[in-house]
Amino acid sequence: MKVPGNKLPGLRGRKVGDLPGLTAVARIDRRTKRLTKRLRPGEIAIIDHVDVDRVSAEALVACGVAAVVNVAAGISGRYPNLGPQILVEAGIPFVDNATPELFERVADGETVRVCDGIVYLGDDMVGKGDVATEESVEAAMAEARAGLSVQIEAFAVNTMEYVRGEGRLLIDGVGVPEIRTPIEGRHVLIVVRGYHYKEDIATLRPYIREYRPVLIGVDGGADALLEAGYLPDVIVGDFDSVSAKALTCGAELIVHAYRDGRAPGLERVHQLGREAVLFPATGTSEDIAMLLADDKGAELIVAVGTHWTLEEFLDKGRSGMASTFLTRLRIGSKLIDAKGVSRLYRSRITTPQLLLLVGTALVTMGVALFSSPIGKTWLNGQQDLWNAFIFWLVGLFS
């Protein structure tokens, strides 16, 4: 797999044409969403990601990654996840099921070479894997679709387990913490960094401007709000994928804790000199954000980027995603899912059409002025004013 040109961003001291394959700086992390925060265009991503999901793949593509080496199974067969297909269709070399020891043999920032599924560090081969192609990805996806019924059964089991473990929270709101942000009787906009969140936030600008809802960012959703020019009122999550800028923007912080009280995100909050409220629950962070808004009396809850379809639940990669399904049932009609609103509604008035409309209106007004007695009187008055202005202007220089 040759790369055109002599250099790529991130290339260290060697022309690409000197050796076959792709030579570039390697960025390595077991958490893909954490890696994409520091990945630069032209670098090689080394990840450990079973069932690469759509959001992660789109983030890698947006970073301009030169190649992706995965030490896990990009498609394990649990369900037809879309990540590998997105990478391959984007023309990004994807090496799957690579040698797990890559994480010990390659340090972050070292220059590696990837050729035909083999990873070299200098002249030494440090790992190898399978080069994904459109054909191999499609075959794996077909096999995964055939076994989807097993995942549906597991989803149902997880749903029952969640009801048994969190019934009091789900039904009676027991365990929802007190917060200082006023929500009673207001609209609440909950933002998660999910599918099409950027487009949907942009489409919702008139709604945000008119209703001024309480803005709740779920982990990276807080950064999404900041990027869109909004200041979040509340940030909810375990805080493993949200920036320090967001955590110190002044928003009220709600740390998602385990049921036993452990809250890994709380340490980071204290390191930044902030205080936070704990919310112990076994569901996902977007679930507790919805339950929080509902319990505090929100009139309407609008969700952006959250998960709803079975594919999205499985794509999230958590068995507890069944909790999101039950949370939505609990909140009912108060919850409006804004997912895809940017695709549902797009302005169909083009710029030429708008100019034509304005021009037509001006011509109509002109005809009305010239044809009516009142219009003629008004025009004569304007002409007298213009003549007086010209007379005054000439007098300044005479």
Q: How high is the pLDDT of residue 199? A: 85
339: confidence class by pLDDT, cuts 50, 70, 90? low
Per the model's pLDDT, the better-predicted residue between 22 and 9 turns out to be 22
DSSP characters for 87-150? HHHTT--EEES--TTHHHH--TT-EEEEETTEEEETTEEEEE-EEP-HHHHHHHHHHHHHTHHH
Tell me the three state secondary structure of residue 202.
helix
Q: Which two tokens stand for residue 353?
A: 């059409």
Domains and CATH numbers, the chain: 16-144 (3.20.19.10), 148-344 (no CATH), 351-396 (no CATH)
C-alpha to C-alpha distance for 70 and 178, rounded to whole angstroms: 43
Direct distance between the N- and C-terminal alpha carbons of the chain, in angstroms, rounded to an integer: 80
Handedness of CA 246, 248, 254, 260 (dihedral sign): positive
Dihedral, 233, 239, 243, 246 alpha carbons, nearest 10: 10
C-alpha to C-alpha distance for 276 and 343, rounded to whole angstroms: 37
What are the residues facing 224 on neighbouring strands? none
Q: How high is the pLDDT of residue 14? A: 44
Q: Residue 248 pLDDT more than 80?
A: yes
Contacts of residues 2-11 at CB distance under 8 Å and 24 or more positions apart, as own/partner, are 3/66, 8/41, 8/42, 8/66, 9/40, 9/41, 9/42, 9/43, 9/64, 10/40, 10/41, 10/42, 10/43, 10/44, 10/66, 11/42, 11/111
- % of residues, the chain, pLDDT over 70: 76
Arithmetic mean of pLDDT over the chain = 82
Q: How high is the pLDDT of residue 2? A: 38
5: confidence class by pLDDT, cuts 50, 70, 90? very low
Q: Residue 316 pLDDT more than 80?
A: no
Q: How high is the pLDDT of residue 237? A: 92
> Is 191:304 a contact under the CB 8 Å cutoff?
yes
* CA distances to 144, 236, 244, 278, 394 from 380, in Å: 80, 66, 66, 74, 21
Q: Which two tokens stand for residue 3?
A: 């790369």
Q: Residue 292 pLDDT more than 80?
A: yes
Q: Residue 170 pLDDT more than 80?
A: no
What are the residues facing 28 on neighbouring strands? 46
C-alpha to C-alpha distance for 275 and 261, rounded to whole angstroms: 16
C-alpha to C-alpha distance for 324 and 375, rounded to whole angstroms: 64
* Burial degree of 393 (CB within 10 A; 0-12, 13-18, 19+): exposed
pTM: 0.60
Q: Residue 282 pLDDT more than 90?
A: no
Q: Residue 317 pLDDT more than 60?
A: no
Tell me the three state secondary structure of residue 10.
coil
What size, in residues, is the chain? 398
C-alpha to C-alpha distance for 267 and 198, rounded to whole angstroms: 30
Residues 6+ apart with CB under 8 A from 293: 183, 188, 190, 214, 216, 301
Each residue of 136-146: pLDDT tens digit? Answer: 999 998 888 87
Using DSSP bridges, classify how beta strands 252-257 and 234-237 pair: parallel, antiparallel or unpaired.
parallel
- Residue 196: Cβ within 10 Å count: 17
107: confidence class by pLDDT, cuts 50, 70, 90? very high
> Is 173:287 a contact under the CB 8 Å cutoff?
no
Each residue of 72-100: pLDDT tens digit? Answer: 999 988 778 889 999 999 999 999 999 99
Each residue of 186-232: pLDDT tens digit? Answer: 999 999 987 778 888 988 998 999 899 999 999 999 999 999 999 99
341: confidence class by pLDDT, cuts 50, 70, 90? low
Q: How high is the pLDDT of residue 110? A: 95
DSSP characters for 235-267? EEE-SSSS-HHHHTSS-EEEEEE-TTS--HHHH
Per the model's pLDDT, the better-predicted residue between 198 and 386 turns out to be 198
Nearest Cα to 304, choosing from 345, 338, 329?
Answer: 338
Q: Residue 16 pLDDT more than 90?
A: no
Q: How high is the pLDDT of residue 167? A: 60
DSSP characters for 141-173? HHHHHHTHHHHHHHHHHHHHHHHHHHHHHHHH-
Q: Which two tokens stand for residue 361?
A: 């209106």
Among all chains, which residue has been given the structure tokens 């709380």? 266
